[in-house]
Amino acid sequence: MTHGASAAPASGAPPIIIAHRGASAERPEHTLEAYRLAIAQGADYIEPDLVPTRDGVLVARHENEIGSTTDVAERPEFANRRTTRLIDGAEVEGWFTEDFTLAELKSLHARERLPMLRPANADHDGRYKIPTFEEVIALAKSEGARLGRVIGIYPETKHPTYFRSIGLPLEEKLLETLAAHGLDSAKAPVFIQSFEAGNLAELAKRTKVRLIQLMAAEGGPADRPELNYATMATPAGLAAIAGYAHGIGVEKAMLIPRAADGRLQDPTPLVADAHSAGLAVHVWTFRPENYFLPQGFKGAGGPAGKGDAEGEIRAFLETGIDGLFSDSVPPARAAVDAMVGSGRVGIGSSARDAR
Protein backbone atom coordinates (compact mmCIF):
# COMPACT_ATOMS: atom_id res chain seq x y z
CA MET A 1 0.00 0.00 0.00
CA THR A 2 1.31 3.44 -0.92
CA HIS A 3 0.22 6.31 1.29
CA GLY A 4 2.43 9.06 -0.05
CA ALA A 5 3.53 11.89 2.22
CA SER A 6 2.18 11.85 5.76
CA ALA A 7 -0.40 14.49 6.46
CA ALA A 8 -1.06 16.33 9.71
CA PRO A 9 -4.63 16.88 10.90
CA ALA A 10 -6.18 20.07 9.57
CA SER A 11 -6.37 21.59 13.05
CA GLY A 12 -2.68 21.16 13.81
CA ALA A 13 -3.70 19.41 17.04
CA PRO A 14 -3.19 15.72 17.85
CA PRO A 15 -6.04 13.49 16.68
CA ILE A 16 -8.53 12.80 19.44
CA ILE A 17 -9.09 9.26 20.72
CA ILE A 18 -12.74 8.37 21.22
CA ALA A 19 -13.34 5.28 23.37
CA HIS A 20 -15.98 3.50 21.32
CA ARG A 21 -18.68 2.52 23.86
CA GLY A 22 -15.89 2.68 26.45
CA ALA A 23 -13.06 0.15 26.62
CA SER A 24 -15.34 -2.30 24.84
CA ALA A 25 -12.53 -4.68 23.86
CA GLU A 26 -11.77 -5.16 27.57
CA ARG A 27 -15.14 -4.72 29.33
CA PRO A 28 -18.80 -5.14 28.34
CA GLU A 29 -19.68 -2.09 26.28
CA HIS A 30 -21.63 0.90 27.53
CA THR A 31 -21.00 0.27 31.22
CA LEU A 32 -19.48 2.71 33.68
CA GLU A 33 -16.67 0.20 34.15
CA ALA A 34 -15.90 0.24 30.42
CA TYR A 35 -15.88 4.04 30.38
CA ARG A 36 -13.75 4.24 33.53
CA LEU A 37 -11.14 1.85 32.12
CA ALA A 38 -11.01 3.75 28.82
CA ILE A 39 -10.37 6.99 30.68
CA ALA A 40 -7.59 5.36 32.71
CA GLN A 41 -6.06 4.11 29.45
CA GLY A 42 -5.88 7.63 28.03
CA ALA A 43 -9.06 8.24 26.04
CA ASP A 44 -9.83 11.87 25.21
CA TYR A 45 -13.55 11.23 24.77
CA ILE A 46 -15.97 8.49 25.82
CA GLU A 47 -18.88 7.57 23.57
CA PRO A 48 -22.36 6.77 24.91
CA ASP A 49 -24.99 5.73 22.37
CA LEU A 50 -28.25 7.15 23.71
CA VAL A 51 -31.72 5.58 23.76
CA PRO A 52 -34.69 6.44 26.00
CA THR A 53 -36.56 4.50 28.64
CA ARG A 54 -40.36 4.40 28.76
CA ASP A 55 -40.26 7.22 31.31
CA GLY A 56 -38.03 9.36 29.09
CA VAL A 57 -34.60 8.89 30.70
CA LEU A 58 -31.60 8.67 28.36
CA VAL A 59 -29.48 5.56 28.89
CA ALA A 60 -26.36 4.22 27.21
CA ARG A 61 -26.98 1.19 24.97
CA HIS A 62 -25.74 0.42 21.47
CA GLU A 63 -29.33 -0.23 20.42
CA ASN A 64 -32.74 0.06 22.00
CA GLU A 65 -33.02 -3.72 21.52
CA ILE A 66 -31.25 -5.13 24.59
CA GLY A 67 -31.58 -8.89 24.20
CA SER A 68 -27.90 -9.36 23.36
CA THR A 69 -26.44 -6.82 25.79
CA THR A 70 -28.34 -7.61 29.01
CA ASP A 71 -29.74 -10.61 30.87
CA VAL A 72 -33.32 -9.61 30.05
CA ALA A 73 -33.96 -12.90 28.19
CA GLU A 74 -33.30 -14.78 31.43
CA ARG A 75 -35.78 -12.72 33.45
CA PRO A 76 -39.18 -14.48 33.42
CA GLU A 77 -40.98 -11.39 34.67
CA PHE A 78 -40.09 -9.66 31.40
CA ALA A 79 -40.83 -12.54 29.02
CA ASN A 80 -44.03 -10.88 27.83
CA ARG A 81 -42.12 -7.75 26.81
CA ARG A 82 -40.53 -9.57 23.87
CA THR A 83 -41.96 -8.07 20.68
CA THR A 84 -41.21 -6.99 17.13
CA ARG A 85 -40.72 -3.37 16.09
CA LEU A 86 -40.22 -1.67 12.73
CA ILE A 87 -37.18 0.55 13.17
CA ASP A 88 -35.74 2.52 10.26
CA GLY A 89 -37.53 0.25 7.83
CA ALA A 90 -36.31 -3.05 9.32
CA GLU A 91 -38.18 -5.48 11.55
CA VAL A 92 -36.35 -6.11 14.82
CA GLU A 93 -37.40 -8.69 17.41
CA GLY A 94 -36.47 -8.61 21.07
CA TRP A 95 -36.77 -6.43 24.14
CA PHE A 96 -36.68 -2.64 23.78
CA THR A 97 -35.66 0.09 26.21
CA GLU A 98 -38.76 2.11 25.39
CA ASP A 99 -40.87 -0.63 27.00
CA PHE A 100 -39.04 -0.45 30.34
CA THR A 101 -38.93 2.18 33.05
CA LEU A 102 -35.54 3.24 34.30
CA ALA A 103 -36.12 1.30 37.52
CA GLU A 104 -36.82 -1.85 35.53
CA LEU A 105 -33.74 -1.39 33.35
CA LYS A 106 -31.63 -0.84 36.45
CA SER A 107 -32.68 -4.28 37.64
CA LEU A 108 -30.96 -5.83 34.61
CA HIS A 109 -27.26 -6.61 34.20
CA ALA A 110 -25.02 -5.95 31.22
CA ARG A 111 -23.63 -8.77 29.10
CA GLU A 112 -20.83 -8.98 26.55
CA ARG A 113 -22.23 -8.53 23.04
CA LEU A 114 -19.46 -10.50 21.27
CA PRO A 115 -18.63 -13.38 23.64
CA MET A 116 -17.08 -15.57 20.93
CA LEU A 117 -14.52 -12.87 20.12
CA ARG A 118 -14.22 -11.45 23.63
CA PRO A 119 -14.53 -14.36 26.07
CA ALA A 120 -12.64 -12.47 28.79
CA ASN A 121 -15.32 -9.79 28.66
CA ALA A 122 -17.99 -12.44 29.16
CA ASP A 123 -16.40 -13.18 32.54
CA HIS A 124 -17.83 -9.81 33.60
CA ASP A 125 -21.41 -10.73 32.65
CA GLY A 126 -23.84 -9.98 35.44
CA ARG A 127 -21.59 -7.53 37.29
CA TYR A 128 -22.57 -4.18 35.81
CA LYS A 129 -25.68 -2.07 35.38
CA ILE A 130 -26.98 0.02 32.48
CA PRO A 131 -25.81 3.62 33.02
CA THR A 132 -27.85 6.74 32.45
CA PHE A 133 -26.46 9.62 30.41
CA GLU A 134 -26.31 11.64 33.63
CA GLU A 135 -24.12 8.95 35.20
CA VAL A 136 -21.78 8.93 32.21
CA ILE A 137 -21.32 12.70 32.42
CA ALA A 138 -20.77 12.51 36.18
CA LEU A 139 -18.11 9.84 35.67
CA ALA A 140 -16.31 11.90 33.02
CA LYS A 141 -16.27 14.92 35.31
CA SER A 142 -15.16 13.07 38.43
CA GLU A 143 -12.44 11.11 36.64
CA GLY A 144 -11.29 14.23 34.85
CA ALA A 145 -10.99 16.07 38.14
CA ARG A 146 -9.12 13.15 39.68
CA LEU A 147 -6.69 12.86 36.79
CA GLY A 148 -6.30 16.59 36.16
CA ARG A 149 -7.45 16.53 32.52
CA VAL A 150 -10.67 17.10 30.62
CA ILE A 151 -12.61 14.02 29.55
CA GLY A 152 -14.95 14.73 26.66
CA ILE A 153 -18.38 13.24 25.91
CA TYR A 154 -19.33 12.06 22.41
CA PRO A 155 -23.02 11.00 22.50
CA GLU A 156 -24.83 9.47 19.55
CA THR A 157 -28.55 9.92 19.01
CA LYS A 158 -29.81 6.48 18.00
CA HIS A 159 -32.81 6.24 15.65
CA PRO A 160 -33.99 9.80 16.43
CA THR A 161 -36.83 9.84 13.90
CA TYR A 162 -38.23 6.58 15.24
CA PHE A 163 -38.11 7.75 18.84
CA ARG A 164 -39.74 11.06 17.99
CA SER A 165 -42.51 9.14 16.20
CA ILE A 166 -43.37 7.23 19.40
CA GLY A 167 -43.31 10.31 21.61
CA LEU A 168 -39.85 9.83 23.12
CA PRO A 169 -37.69 12.42 21.33
CA LEU A 170 -34.00 12.35 22.18
CA GLU A 171 -32.82 15.82 21.29
CA GLU A 172 -34.64 17.91 23.89
CA LYS A 173 -33.54 15.74 26.79
CA LEU A 174 -29.99 15.59 25.42
CA LEU A 175 -29.70 19.37 25.16
CA GLU A 176 -31.29 19.89 28.57
CA THR A 177 -28.83 17.49 30.18
CA LEU A 178 -25.81 19.07 28.53
CA ALA A 179 -26.97 22.56 29.53
CA ALA A 180 -27.49 21.46 33.13
CA HIS A 181 -23.83 20.44 33.24
CA GLY A 182 -22.50 23.55 31.48
CA LEU A 183 -21.69 21.56 28.34
CA ASP A 184 -23.66 23.58 25.82
CA SER A 185 -21.08 25.86 24.21
CA ALA A 186 -19.05 25.57 21.02
CA LYS A 187 -15.94 25.02 23.11
CA ALA A 188 -17.46 22.39 25.41
CA PRO A 189 -15.71 19.01 25.26
CA VAL A 190 -18.73 17.51 23.48
CA PHE A 191 -19.60 16.22 20.03
CA ILE A 192 -23.13 15.11 19.14
CA GLN A 193 -23.24 12.52 16.36
CA SER A 194 -25.99 10.98 14.26
CA PHE A 195 -26.38 8.80 11.16
CA GLU A 196 -29.48 10.84 10.36
CA ALA A 197 -29.20 14.26 8.77
CA GLY A 198 -32.46 16.01 9.61
CA ASN A 199 -32.00 15.90 13.36
CA LEU A 200 -28.49 17.33 13.05
CA ALA A 201 -29.76 20.17 10.87
CA GLU A 202 -32.40 20.93 13.50
CA LEU A 203 -29.90 20.65 16.33
CA ALA A 204 -27.67 23.17 14.55
CA LYS A 205 -30.44 25.75 15.00
CA ARG A 206 -30.72 25.05 18.72
CA THR A 207 -27.22 24.44 20.04
CA LYS A 208 -23.64 25.60 19.61
CA VAL A 209 -22.30 22.15 20.54
CA ARG A 210 -20.26 20.63 17.73
CA LEU A 211 -22.18 18.22 15.52
CA ILE A 212 -20.83 15.22 13.58
CA GLN A 213 -22.54 13.69 10.57
CA LEU A 214 -21.96 9.95 10.65
CA MET A 215 -21.61 8.11 7.35
CA ALA A 216 -21.23 4.47 6.40
CA ALA A 217 -19.72 2.89 3.30
CA GLU A 218 -23.21 1.81 2.20
CA GLY A 219 -26.74 3.14 2.63
CA GLY A 220 -27.89 6.57 3.66
CA PRO A 221 -29.70 8.52 6.39
CA ALA A 222 -32.88 6.77 7.51
CA ASP A 223 -34.70 10.10 7.57
CA ARG A 224 -33.57 11.24 4.11
CA PRO A 225 -34.28 8.47 1.58
CA GLU A 226 -33.30 10.79 -1.26
CA LEU A 227 -29.71 10.86 0.07
CA ASN A 228 -26.97 8.25 0.26
CA TYR A 229 -23.68 8.46 2.09
CA ALA A 230 -21.62 8.06 -1.09
CA THR A 231 -23.17 11.23 -2.51
CA MET A 232 -22.80 13.00 0.81
CA ALA A 233 -19.07 12.22 0.74
CA THR A 234 -18.52 14.08 -2.56
CA PRO A 235 -17.19 17.67 -2.47
CA ALA A 236 -20.70 19.00 -3.10
CA GLY A 237 -22.16 16.77 -0.41
CA LEU A 238 -19.48 17.76 2.08
CA ALA A 239 -20.14 21.44 1.38
CA ALA A 240 -23.79 20.84 2.28
CA ILE A 241 -22.85 19.06 5.51
CA ALA A 242 -20.61 21.99 6.44
CA GLY A 243 -23.74 24.11 6.58
CA TYR A 244 -24.88 22.36 9.77
CA ALA A 245 -22.04 20.20 11.13
CA HIS A 246 -18.53 20.59 12.45
CA GLY A 247 -17.29 17.35 10.96
CA ILE A 248 -17.97 13.88 9.65
CA GLY A 249 -17.62 10.50 11.31
CA VAL A 250 -16.88 7.98 8.58
CA GLU A 251 -16.51 4.23 8.29
CA LYS A 252 -12.91 3.15 7.70
CA ALA A 253 -13.66 1.74 4.25
CA MET A 254 -14.65 5.21 3.03
CA LEU A 255 -11.14 6.42 3.76
CA ILE A 256 -8.92 3.40 3.05
CA PRO A 257 -10.78 0.62 1.23
CA ARG A 258 -9.74 -3.02 1.43
CA ALA A 259 -8.82 -5.08 -1.61
CA ALA A 260 -10.42 -8.45 -2.35
CA ASP A 261 -7.68 -10.16 -0.36
CA GLY A 262 -8.42 -7.98 2.69
CA ARG A 263 -5.36 -5.75 2.42
CA LEU A 264 -5.52 -1.98 2.73
CA GLN A 265 -5.52 -0.09 -0.54
CA ASP A 266 -4.53 3.51 -1.25
CA PRO A 267 -6.53 6.21 0.55
CA THR A 268 -9.42 8.02 -1.08
CA PRO A 269 -9.41 11.84 -1.25
CA LEU A 270 -12.08 12.05 1.44
CA VAL A 271 -9.90 13.59 4.17
CA ALA A 272 -8.58 16.31 1.86
CA ASP A 273 -12.04 17.00 0.45
CA ALA A 274 -13.57 17.25 3.94
CA HIS A 275 -10.83 19.53 5.19
CA SER A 276 -11.30 21.73 2.11
CA ALA A 277 -14.97 22.03 3.10
CA GLY A 278 -13.95 23.03 6.64
CA LEU A 279 -14.96 19.71 8.20
CA ALA A 280 -13.12 17.58 10.75
CA VAL A 281 -12.78 13.88 9.98
CA HIS A 282 -13.26 11.21 12.66
CA VAL A 283 -12.97 7.55 11.63
CA TRP A 284 -14.74 4.44 13.00
CA THR A 285 -14.08 1.81 14.29
CA PHE A 286 -10.69 0.31 15.16
CA ARG A 287 -10.78 -3.06 16.91
CA PRO A 288 -7.83 -5.21 18.04
CA GLU A 289 -9.17 -8.68 17.23
CA ASN A 290 -7.93 -10.48 14.12
CA TYR A 291 -11.52 -10.88 12.95
CA PHE A 292 -11.69 -7.12 12.30
CA LEU A 293 -8.11 -6.39 11.19
CA PRO A 294 -6.93 -6.10 7.58
CA GLN A 295 -4.62 -8.69 6.06
CA GLY A 296 -1.07 -7.82 6.96
CA PHE A 297 -2.07 -6.77 10.48
CA LYS A 298 -3.54 -10.02 11.83
CA GLY A 299 -1.75 -11.95 14.58
CA ALA A 300 -1.88 -15.48 15.95
CA GLY A 301 -4.80 -17.03 17.77
CA GLY A 302 -7.57 -17.17 15.19
CA PRO A 303 -10.42 -14.67 14.89
CA ALA A 304 -10.40 -13.79 18.63
CA GLY A 305 -6.61 -13.35 18.74
CA LYS A 306 -5.08 -9.88 18.85
CA GLY A 307 -3.12 -8.40 15.97
CA ASP A 308 -1.33 -5.16 15.12
CA ALA A 309 -4.15 -2.70 15.80
CA GLU A 310 -1.59 0.05 16.38
CA GLY A 311 -0.17 -0.52 12.91
CA GLU A 312 -3.58 -0.22 11.29
CA ILE A 313 -4.27 2.99 13.20
CA ARG A 314 -0.92 4.43 12.12
CA ALA A 315 -1.88 3.85 8.48
CA PHE A 316 -5.03 5.92 8.97
CA LEU A 317 -3.25 8.64 10.95
CA GLU A 318 -1.00 9.19 7.95
CA THR A 319 -3.99 10.50 6.01
CA GLY A 320 -4.45 13.46 8.37
CA ILE A 321 -7.58 12.41 10.25
CA ASP A 322 -8.66 14.51 13.22
CA GLY A 323 -9.91 11.71 15.46
CA LEU A 324 -10.64 8.02 15.67
CA PHE A 325 -13.03 5.65 17.42
CA SER A 326 -11.39 2.61 18.99
CA ASP A 327 -12.70 -0.32 21.01
CA SER A 328 -9.27 -0.51 22.66
CA VAL A 329 -7.55 2.70 23.77
CA PRO A 330 -3.93 1.47 24.29
CA PRO A 331 -3.05 0.87 20.61
CA ALA A 332 -4.72 4.14 19.63
CA ARG A 333 -2.90 6.02 22.38
CA ALA A 334 0.42 4.49 21.36
CA ALA A 335 -0.11 5.38 17.69
CA VAL A 336 -1.13 8.98 18.38
CA ASP A 337 1.64 9.52 20.93
CA ALA A 338 4.19 8.19 18.45
CA MET A 339 2.86 10.60 15.83
CA VAL A 340 3.16 13.51 18.27
CA GLY A 341 6.62 12.39 19.36
CA SER A 342 7.81 12.35 15.77
CA GLY A 343 6.91 16.01 15.40
CA ARG A 344 4.41 15.37 12.62
CA VAL A 345 1.63 17.30 14.37
CA GLY A 346 2.10 21.01 13.83
CA ILE A 347 0.41 24.14 15.12
CA GLY A 348 -1.90 26.52 13.37
CA SER A 349 -5.55 26.83 12.49
CA SER A 350 -7.80 25.84 9.63
CA ALA A 351 -11.10 26.86 8.14
CA ARG A 352 -12.60 24.07 10.24
CA ASP A 353 -11.47 25.68 13.49
CA ALA A 354 -12.51 29.16 12.48
CA ARG A 355 -16.12 28.18 11.90
Mean predicted confidence (pLDDT) in 68-80: 97
**Element housing 18 (H / E):** strand 16-20
- pLDDT for 243-279, tens place per residue? 999 999 999 999 999 999 999 999 999 999 999 999 9
- Residue 155: partners with Cβ closer than 8 Å, 6 or more residues away: 47, 48, 49, 50, 133, 174, 190, 191, 192, 193
- The pLDDT value given to residue 343: 78
**Element housing 282 (H / E):** strand 280-286
Q: What is the mean pLDDT of the chain?
A: 93
Are the CB atoms for 335 and 317 separated by under 8 Å?
yes
- The pLDDT value given to residue 346: 40
Are the CB atoms for 297 and 307 separated by under 8 Å?
yes
Helix and strand numbers, DSSP H then E, in the chain: 14, 13
Looking at the predicted structure, is the pLDDT value of residue 6 above 50?
no
Are the CB atoms for 144 and 151 separated by under 8 Å?
yes
> Which residue spans within 74-222 are E strands per DSSP?
83-87, 90-94, 152-153, 156-157, 191-194, 210-215
Strands 90-94, 83-87: parallel, antiparallel or unpaired by DSSP?
antiparallel
- The pLDDT value given to residue 345: 63
Mean predicted confidence (pLDDT) in 231-235: 98
Spatial CA neighbour of 124 closest among 193, 194, 223, 36: 36
The DSSP code sequence of 212-274 is EEEE-SS---TT-TT--HHHHTSHHHHHHHTTT-SEEEEEHHHHS-B-TTS-B-PPPSHHHHH
- pLDDT for 159-214, tens place per residue? 999 999 999 999 999 999 999 999 999 999 999 999 999 999 999 999 999 999 99
Mean predicted confidence (pLDDT) in 308-317: 97
Topology of domain 16-354, CATH:
TIM Barrel (3.20.20)
Are the CB atoms for 247 and 282 separated by under 8 Å?
yes
Q: How confident is the model at residue 12 (pLDDT cuts 50, 70, 90)?
A: confident
- pLDDT for 123-157, tens place per residue? 999 999 999 999 999 999 999 999 999 999 999 99
- The pLDDT value given to residue 157: 98
- The pLDDT value given to residue 347: 28
- In degrees, rounded to 5, the angle at the alpha carbon of residue 48 between the alpha carbons of residues 168 and 99 is 35
Q: How confident is the model at residue 342 (pLDDT cuts 50, 70, 90)?
A: confident
Lowest mean pLDDT among 28-32, 204-208, 351-355: 351-355
Mean predicted confidence (pLDDT) in 74-91: 96
Grouping H, G, I as helix, E, B as strand and the rest as coil, residue 341 is: helix
- pTM recorded for the entire structure: 0.93
The residue ranges of every structural domain in the chain are 16-354
Q: How confident is the model at residue 4 (pLDDT cuts 50, 70, 90)?
A: very low
Question: pLDDT exceeding 90 applies to what percent of the chain?
Answer: 92
Q: How confident is the model at residue 3 (pLDDT cuts 50, 70, 90)?
A: very low
- pLDDT for 35-47, tens place per residue? 999 999 999 999 9
Q: How confident is the model at residue 328 (pLDDT cuts 50, 70, 90)?
A: very high
Q: How confident is the model at residue 323 (pLDDT cuts 50, 70, 90)?
A: very high
- pLDDT for 176-190, tens place per residue? 999 999 999 999 999
